[in-house]
Amino acid sequence: MKKVKIVATLGPSSSDKISQMIKAGVDIFRLNFSHADHKTHRQSIKHIRETAKKLDSKTAILQDISGPKIRIGEINGFLELKRGDKIRLVKKHPESLYDLTLTYPEIIDHVNIGEYVFFADGSIRTKVIDKDNNSLTLEVKNEGVLSSRKGVNFPHSKLKISAITPKDEKDLAFGARNGVDIVAISFVNSKNDILKAKEILKQNGANPWVIAKIETKQAVENLDEILEVSDGVMVARGDLGIEVGIEKVPVIQKKIIRRANKLKKPVITATQMLLSMVNSPFPTRAEVSDVANAVMDGSDGVMLSDETTVGKYPVKAVETLKNVILETQNIYPYYKKYEILDEDAIAASVADLCRGIEPKGIICFTSSGTTVKSIAKYRPKSPIFAVTHSRETSRKLNMVWGVKPLFEIPKIKNPEKLIEKFRTLAIKTGCFKKGDMVIVTMGSLVGKEGTTNMIRVIEI
């Protein structure tokens, strides 16, 4: 069983290949709200749900909102820059071709002399040498060509800008109405960005998992407070590499994953996992090693972006990712050791028991998924099967390492009747065969969140 989950971004190359991609190993489809309109996304959600139902799959949907991507305004043609040139960022009234406007002009107030400003994915680097109330004067440090709407990064500046834009608020309301399972918040800087997103979703009657994309220097510095209020995180290595320097990304990736694992927060590693497969049917050796290292680091999921949105081989990319994951699992360091907290006592005991008797599976009856995440924290070798009465919980748990959501069973308060119902369904559906030994966890108050207090070893 594949334990690390595959997230695939839906786009022009893959919108008509949803069934093939689920069969190839996709657990979660990502909808990028930086592109397409609500009508297109609504159709995608409908198509994913219908296809998943036909395939009896618990495929989840992740809504990735745009966030405040800072860009320059329109340029008349191209601006060729050489080392030593001077350009300006202005709030308003550009006076020459070398005066550039910003999508968020108020940012100028928060940038200081001596700090750096990067353009076009970091390919053009400048330093602030002067500042007044309306503008920043920048000295160009390397040559390059700048065109309209290119991205801007301020890696050393503490920007006071909300991660939730007015567009994002509308997109969050749309996601809530259309039942997305997971929401990713872009350009998070502090816990307040996550809390604001959760409040908007709550106001719209929804409770998806909200994950923070760690892609700014401030997010790395505020990681602990962000993890505290998030339901998970994404290591968004693209902008992160621009902000902190690409040489620091591997170490930061490991630190984020390690911290998230300890706190039972699912973590997705993203960006350029198999980028060469946009145009090639085969990945590079370096890409395969990158995926394997993300698995070994402890990622709950790995994500494809361009590979499945505009790439020539979206299904092949998913199959490749799956094969690398399965091969790497052969040397995975199972049975992680942590200081055992009271809240994790049951989960730690399950992992220890699993190590001793090697059951066919761990059956976790759950309402909210809390116990499932606790067990997954210890990385047992046996697969974790989540059984719940909630389809929404099943789909969310598709993001968690080593977890396979099984069928939903209506609430049954009597534990013995619940186990018997499971036995019947397990044999009928072929999930297990008679005589298989499994570990079962449940609460004495069946169906009530946070009450798991029982461990049993049973035969199917």
- Residues serving a catalytic function are 30, 71, 213, 271
E strands of 33-84, at which residues?
A: 60-64, 79-81
Helices (H), 329-397: 345-357, 370-377, 391-396
Q: Which two tokens stand for residue 17?
A: 């290949």
Task: Judge whether 150 and 119 are in contact, CB under 8 Å.
Answer: yes
Number of H helices, E strands in the chain: 15, 21
Query: 53 exposed, middle or buried (CB, 10 Å; 0-12, 13-18, 19+)?
Result: exposed
Instruction: Name the packing angle between helices 249-262 and 237-244 (round to 10°).
Output: 120
The dihedral formed by the CA atoms of 140, 220, 270 and 65, expressed in degrees to the nearest 10? -90
Instruction: Name the packing angle between helices 314-328 and 285-297 (round to 10°).
Output: 50
- State how far the alpha carbon of 127 is from the alpha carbons of 124, 138, 244, in Å: 10, 5, 16
What DSSP string runs through 243-256? Answer: HH-GGGHHHHHHHH
Whose tokens are 């748990």? That residue is 397
Q: Which two tokens stand for residue 435?
A: 């005589």
- State how far the alpha carbon of 201 is from the alpha carbons of 62, 179, 392, 403, in Å: 14, 11, 15, 26
**Rounded-to-integer distance, Cα 439 and Cα 363, Å:** 6
Q: Which two tokens stand for residue 259?
A: 């911290």
- State how far the alpha carbon of 40 is from the alpha carbons of 114, 135, 168, in Å: 44, 39, 16
